[in-house]
Every structure is written in C-alpha cells, then in structure tokens.
Amino acid sequence: MATVLTLLAEGFEEIEAIVPIDLLRRAGVDVTTAALVAGGPVTGRSGIAVHADTDLATVMGRTFDCLFLPGGAGVKHLRADPRVRTLVRQQADAGRWLAAICAAPTVLHDAGLLAGRRYTAHFSVAHELPHLLAAERVVTDGRLVTSRGAGTAQDFGLDLVTKLVSAEKAAEVARAICA
C-alpha cells in the first residue's frame, strides 16, 4: 500500500488538501496528515478546522512514497519552517514523489528542487516562479507533481492516484465520484 504524508499548516486551502486526501484514501492509499504544530486542530483559510493524524515532529526522519504540500495562505508557514525544507530534501534524495499545489511549489523552489524542471503553480506566485507553466492544470516532471490551485484539486488528486496506485484505480475512483 502506498503511503502519503500531507502537511497541514494554519491557513491551508481546504479544497486543495481535502479533495486529494479523499481521492487517495478512496483508492486505498495510506494518507497521514501532519500538523506543523502539535496540540489542536489546524484551521484552513475558510475557517474549517481539521484534526491532523499527527504532528510534523513525530514524522521527521521518516520517508513516505509521496510528500504532499497543499497551498493557500498556510504556505508561508511551510516556507518558514526549516523542518519542512529538510523533509522535502529527504524525500527528493530518497527518490520519492513530491506533490505540491497552488503556492506550495514555492516550498520546492526554496529547497532548490525546481531548477530545470517543468512545473505549474498558482498565478499569485508567478513572480517567484517565472518558469511555471501557467496553462497546465497538472504537471509531472520525474517524481515531481504540481498543480495550479483549488480548481485543479480533483485532477491533481486523480493524477496522484494514477501514479501511486494505477490508472485503473484512478478511473474507478473517478467513476465513483461522477468525475
């Protein structure tokens, strides 16, 4: 069974986190949500509080098949936490999947992982990521998967199911949700 670690920071974009998590879990993927800070729910940009499975300190040093970074205003907290950059680099060094949506590709940029790569992101970070492929909904380059934003979360989640499980399972999940 594939494993995914999803990092949740205060202000995360709910659609960008919950839709891919839901689709991955429907496909049988073991998704662990980790809050940057221990001790309570993590509140998204629209005020929806989510209880993470664990916290970042607990999962440090572990590798997962995929590290998933949702976007939204919470990206500023991901970028400010040196543990996140360490975890991103560990995943990359281990040849594991990295997935980021909306503004979260800036975290990968900060870790030095976007140079010479194909990627997309939300238009609000185009000034930091001038080579983003703005017209693409989901972009894969090697073991890096990026997506534009809340409106592409379903495509992104199904693409992750394809990569971590199979195209057949992604089609089955898509049919089940009438996608």
> Would you name the residues annotated as active-site residues?
102
Cβ atoms of 69 and 101 within 8 Å: the answer is yes
Start-end of H helices in 68-124: 75-80, 82-93, 105-110
Q: What is the CA radius of gyration of the chain?
A: 15
The DSSP secondary-structure symbol of 115 reads: T
Number of neighbours of residue 46 by Cβ within 10 angstroms: 11
Among 132, 101, 126, 136, smallest CA distance to 114 is for 132
* Cα angle, residue 140 at apex, residues 2 and 118 outer, rounded to 5°: 145
Q: How far is CA 38 from CA 8, 32, 111, in A?
A: 11, 14, 24
Specify whether the CB–CB gap between 75 and 9 falls below 8 A: yes
Beta strands in 114-164 (DSSP E): 138-141, 144-147
